[in-house]
Amino acid sequence: MEQLDVLFVNPNASRKNYQALSRDLSAIEPPVWAALLANHTRRNGLETAILDCEAERIDPLASAKRIKEFNSRLTVIVVYGQHPAASTQNMEGVHHLCETMKDYYPEYKIILAGLYPSALSRKTMEDEKIDFVCQGEGPLTITALSQVDMNDVSQLKKVPGLWFRDRGNIQCTSPASIIPRENLHEILPGMAWELLSIEKYRTANWHAMTNNNERTPFASLYTSLGCPYSCSFCCTNAPFGSNNLDNSNGVTIFRYWDPNFIVGEFDKIYEMGVRNIKIADEMFIFNVNHFMKVCELIIERGYDFNIWCYGRIDTIKVEYLETLKKAGVNWLAVGVESASSYVRQDVVKGNFSKTNIIELVQSVKDTGINIIGNYIFGLPEDNYETMRDTLGLAIELNCEFVNFYTAMAYPGSALYIEALKNKWPLPETYSGFSQHSFDTLPLPTKYISSSDVLRFRDEAFHTYYTNSNYLAMIDSKFGQDAVQMINEMISHKLDRKTLIED
């Protein structure tokens, strides 16, 4: 069999991380970073393929057998997910896949790339049966590694951003350079769409409510990299040099692809028959010269997309909304986090007031755009009163969909470093960092235990989605099919280890 140069693998940990929700309700998102890195390596003359174990719903043994069939010199397991925090929980699938690979096919070289291995490079090398870890964004490290003798330590030492073993000792090279703005298009020239089976991806159930409940096909893409903010609970910038425990370069850069280049990616998606799109940027609505130009170019083409994207209370302006809606932005995800400005400011998250939030949400709804409200229970300064206020605000805003999270000290975040320093209890498993897993373990606050935070979150979720005003709004906007979908979602009660033991 002819040997492949590089195989990018997206592992499967959906069942452990999402319990019964993984069968039909959770999204299956294209592996954006695997597709970006794959396009880079093949543009550099390397024979490249992608294996998406999650989309194919295959277990570790079946995944290992497929990897063997590709017969690649280098297997790159890319550890990202549907949101930045998912990198840690997806290490659950990575762990079992690496164990299986080294048990059955130890001759294959494995490198882990992504947010978690970049943030905790040494720990990843210590914990996992792998050959290498990529610290940083990945393209420069992976291409350089693919072109050397991977058994020659003297050559490994020339690969930037690489962790490896030398006679049993864990070693690392200097971090790879952060991709500068002016070279972004050259080094990361879009996604390798043709290496993905786009029909296997499905969007979230709520997103499909504005597309006749059709969830497939589905595409996700970036128009920028990184985030200009530094919320202490967020791990987004870990691959870009921030909050790495080892070998950090201490530098982050927020970069954009040119709007004219990005609309070319939208052209490809449209030609593939995709209408459901997630713009995965952590902050799409930030630079008006960027996102408004992208929207205007989409409008010029007359595409009928069903898009969702992220913004912040303090970056979404009324004057942008009409253009966003015309471009197909039907959903805006907004991080409210907490009703308490004191709780928010403690985690470096916004100085907006309750009035700002209410006025903004109403303005967005008046334009015909739906809101996904994101809230966090259990931030360090939270108590029962502030959490009840947050739930009350969520009910008052009556967003078309909400995500209720518990505060987690995700590797790669400033909160994780603080947790280590203060010896706060952290999950003992990768899946323990998943919001929906059996063994999830949120942080305690200064006033409330972790189990009480989790109990409050789960009860709040049920309260919100069974609220009569909410269900009446969903019925009037989307019909009974959408109401039935909500009822089905709420019928899946999550089992929680800490609540059983409590």
Mean pLDDT of the chain: 91
**pLDDT tens for residues 118-163?**
999 999 999 999 999 999 999 999 999 999 999 999 999 999 999 9
Euclidean distance between CA atoms 190 and 260, whole angstroms: 12
**Amino acid in position 206:** W
User: To the nearest 10°, the Cα dihedral for 91, 94, 95, 100?
Assistant: 170
Ordered structural domains, the chain, with CATH: 4-172 (3.40.50.280), 193-501 (3.80.30.20)
Euclidean distance between CA atoms 113 and 132, whole angstroms: 9
Q: How far is CA 306 from the centre of its chain?
A: 19
Euclidean distance between CA atoms 263 and 279, whole angstroms: 12
Q: Is pLDDT at 248 greater than 70 in this prediction?
A: no
**pLDDT tens for residues 178-193?**
898 899 999 999 999 9
pLDDT value at position 229?
79
**pLDDT tens for residues 204-228?**
999 999 999 999 999 999 999 988 8
Are 440 and 427 within 8 A, CB to CB?
yes
Q: Residue with structure tokens 């006749």?
A: 212
With 0-12 / 13-18 / 19 or more C-beta atoms within 10 angstroms meaning exposed / middle / buried, residue 30 is buried
Ranking 164-168, 294-298, 412-416 by mean pLDDT, the lowest is 412-416
**pLDDT tens for residues 385-405?**
999 999 999 999 999 999 999
Q: What is the DSSP letter of 336?
A: E
**Average pLDDT of the residues in 223-237:** 83
**pLDDT tens for residues 270-325?**
999 999 999 999 889 999 999 999 999 999 999 999 999 999 888 899 999 999 99
How far is CA 244 from each of CA 21, 115, 225, 415, 416, rounded to the nearest angstrom?
32, 10, 17, 12, 10
Q: How far is CA 348 from the centre of its chain?
A: 20
Q: What is the DSSP letter of 148?
A: S
Could you tell me the two tokens for 312? 């912040």
pLDDT value at position 375?
95
By three-state DSSP, how is residue 243 classified? coil
Are 306 and 210 within 8 A, CB to CB?
yes
Are 369 and 330 within 8 A, CB to CB?
yes
Beta-carbon contacts of 239 under 8 Å, excluding residues fewer than 6 positions away, are 114, 115, 118, 119, 136, 137, 138, 412
Q: Is pLDDT at 460 greater than 60 in this prediction?
A: yes
Are 489 and 461 within 8 A, CB to CB?
no
Euclidean distance between CA atoms 106 and 379, whole angstroms: 43
pLDDT value at position 502?
65
**pLDDT tens for residues 27-54?**
899 999 999 999 999 999 999 999 999 9
**Amino acid in position 168:** G
pLDDT value at position 94?
95
Beta-carbon contacts of 453 under 8 Å, excluding residues fewer than 6 positions away, are 377, 378, 382, 387, 406, 407, 442, 443, 444, 445
Q: Is pLDDT at 19 greater than 60 in this prediction?
A: no
Q: What is the DSSP letter of 349?
A: -
Cα-flanking dihedrals φ and ψ of residue 358, to 5°? -60, -45
pLDDT value at position 238?
79
pLDDT interval class at 353 (50, 70, 90): low
Q: What pTM was computed for the model?
A: 0.93
